[in-house]
Amino acid sequence: MHKGVKDEGGWTLLEIMIVATIIGIMAMIAIPTWSAARNRAQTEICKRNQNMIYEQMNIYCLEHNVACDISTFPNLCAVRDALVPLDGSPKYIKRRNVFSCPANPDQGQQHDYRFVRDGNDITGIECDYNEDHND
């Protein structure tokens, strides 16, 4: 070894390019997987929201001795207002964001669902924002 020459031990350009390529390949594999997992999670949360709204709506109707139909709830806003009152004492559902599909970037919208009806009777809730969430 020559006097005064010090080995810095740094990375060569080739090594940096190989590491960057490996990271890029890993990202190409991981991003679609994360996206699919996010979509599955949004679908499951949406279905849970639909079930919760419908279940709590039925409990409300039983407790108030009213029919669970269009005359009691002409639209989903009426359901939301009955189940999540603004006076600070939610008895049925604690948060209004349950009425927003998690896939909708505008979570303040709060009317992403629609009634499933049999005549005037309400038989379920479906996602109006993303049809795939109703399967």
CA distance 4 to 109: 70
Residue whose pair of structure tokens reads 């969430």 in the numeric block: 133
Which segment of 5-14, 54-63, 76-85 scores lowest on mean pLDDT?
5-14
Residue 65 corresponds to which tokens in the numbers above? 């001795």
CA distance 122 to 114: 10
Strand 121-127, strand 113-118: pairing: antiparallel
DSSP structure string for 4-50:
T--------HHHHHHHHHHHHHHHHHHHHHHHHHHHHHHHHHHHHHH
Residue 89 reports pLDDT greater than 90: no
Give percent above pLDDT 70 in the chain.
Answer: 93
Q: Kindly report, residue by residue over 23-76, the tens digit of the pLDDT.
A: 999 988 888 888 888 889 999 999 999 999 999 999 999 999 999 999 999 998
CA distance 29 to 119: 49
